[in-house]
Amino acid sequence: MIVCSSCGIEMSDKKKMCKSCIHDKIKATWKRQIRIYSIISALGAMLLMYDISEVRALPHNADGIPTYLMGAAALGGLAVLGGLFGLVLAVFFNVWHREKPA
């Protein structure tokens, strides 16, 4: 008999973890990913809001938008889009791996 490395239950197959522990580990992984991608999206949105406020504060007769603001806006936009894409995938797989009714 093989013993589960996580909970100590004896199993007949040769896996290192039982199905219950594997399921719990997968759920925890997707929940962590949801948290990470939410933070990335929020930081990107804050960076974009900062850029918008700085561009609005520029004088009307300015020669253009400074390069650092353009770069920060691009970085903020990528963070929002990437974070939202990752968040959608993480939520999808979190729902996919939910417990099936018996």
Cα(72)–Cα(45) distance, rounded to whole angstroms? Answer: 11
Average pLDDT, the chain: 87
pLDDT at 24: 82
Q: Is the pLDDT of residue 12 over 80?
A: no
Q: Which residues contact 50 (CB under 8 A, 6 or more apart)?
A: 72, 76
> Could you give the dihedral angle defined by the CA atoms of residues 68, 55, 38 and 36, in that order, rounded to the nearest 10 degrees?
20
Mean pLDDT of 59-82: 89
Pair 27, 35: CB distance under 8 Å: no
Out of 58-62, 72-76, 87-91, which region has the weakest mean confidence (pLDDT)? Answer: 58-62
Evaluate if pTM is beyond 0.85.
no
> Which pLDDT value is given to residue 101?
61
Q: What is the pLDDT of residues 26-62, one digit of tens each?
A: 888 888 999 999 999 999 999 999 999 998 888 877 7
